[in-house]
Amino acid sequence: MPRTRSLAWSELKIGIITVFAVVMAALMVFAVGGAGGFFWQRYPLKVRFQNIATVKSGTPVRVAGIEMGTVTEVRLTGSTVEAWLEVSNEVRPLVTDRSLAVIGAVSLLGEGAIDITPAPDGTPVADWGYVPSGIDPASIAALSAVAGKGLDETARLLADLRAGKGTLGLLFTDEKAYRDLEALMASATRVTEAVGRGRGSLGRLVNDPAVYNELVAATGALNAITAKVARGEGSLGALLNDPALAASATQAAANLEKVTGGLARGDGTAGKLLTDEQLYSRLNATAARLDDISTKLAAGEGTAGMLLQDRRLYDNMSAAVTELRGLVSDIRKDPKKYLNVKVSLF
């Protein structure tokens, strides 16, 4: 039988060093190639997208633009795509329920990446939790969506124009509206030409320096008046600036308030007229009696009524007055004819 040779310590030491070097090299390669550190320095997360684009296993995961993890697996779940992530524990306080995961790009060649916005004011996502996802506003998908909405709006606008909706649609489809607009433009052209030639008040204001100077002078006079008022000159200035006048106005307002208060309380004749029910009843009764008297007069009742309504009585009184006037006239002309005084002595 061959004799078994025992390993020398030097050979065993070389083997141990070799194994250690291989392990360290593997760890270094793993540390350099896998972002986020060693496996015990990372924690798992998930994110869902409608379209995963160029993301695949090994795609970098960036937080605030810094590579802090990788995509470990991509799975199709129903109508969405689910990506499993391993992210460094350093960013756990930054990846919260208020963060947003979007698909970005590493280079112009189309290599994808998952970008997560930091949100330290939210609640950190637990292990195997889902990070909220969305669309990058600068991505081609977002731009395509915006462009699609713009094209839809343009198509609807063109359809409304063809249907004659709105002012612009009527202008395109209604011949009368077009003629009215054309007439309006012609009128505006004539007005501007007239103003340019100096016709009318506006034309003179634009073209005549004298009118402009008069307007400037009037503005200056107005400024002078307002300055005087501000300085308290004149009646209006005193009204605005004189404390005594203001006190008088305040006193007048107080007196007026006192008078109205007295009226409301029933003080004085006017106050009683407003508040005394008995006085109101008397006035109402007096007005009713006056109305009754006027009704009787209109009906010809009584002497005054007959005087107003009976024509013969009026004529008789008119004739009597005429005869009386004639008698008075004759007496004035010949008093001796009517005044004959005899004196006898016993």
**pLDDT per residue as tens digits for the range 176-199:** 777 777 788 888 888 787 777 767
Write the CB contacts of 281 (distance below 8 Å, at least 6 apart in sequence).
none
Give the tens place of pLDDT for each residue, 62-97.
998 899 999 999 998 888 899 999 999 999 999 999
| Element at 128 (helix H, strand E) | none
Is the whole-model pTM more than 0.95? no
Q: What is the pLDDT of residue 10?
A: 64
Q: How far apart are CA 104 and CA 118, in angstroms?
A: 15
Q: pLDDT per residue over 107-118, tens digit each?
A: 656 678 899 999
pLDDT at 33 over 50: no
Q: What's the CA dihedral at 225, 226, 227, 232 to 10 degrees?
A: 90
| Cα 252 from Cα 235, distance rounded (Å) | 18
Helix (H, G, I), strand (E, B) or coil at 284: helix
> Which two structure tokens, joined as six digits, stand for 117?
């916005």
Helices (H), 61-163: 140-163
Q: What is the pLDDT of residue 107?
A: 62
Per residue in 140-181, pLDDT tens?
A: 555 655 667 777 888 888 777 777 777 777 767 777 777 777
80 compared with 266, residue with greater pLDDT: 80
In the chain, what percentage of residues exceed pLDDT 90? 16
Written as one letter, the residue type at 286 is T
Q: Mean of the per-residue pLDDT values for the chain?
A: 77
Residues 106, 109, 111, 114: is their CA dihedral positive or negative?
positive
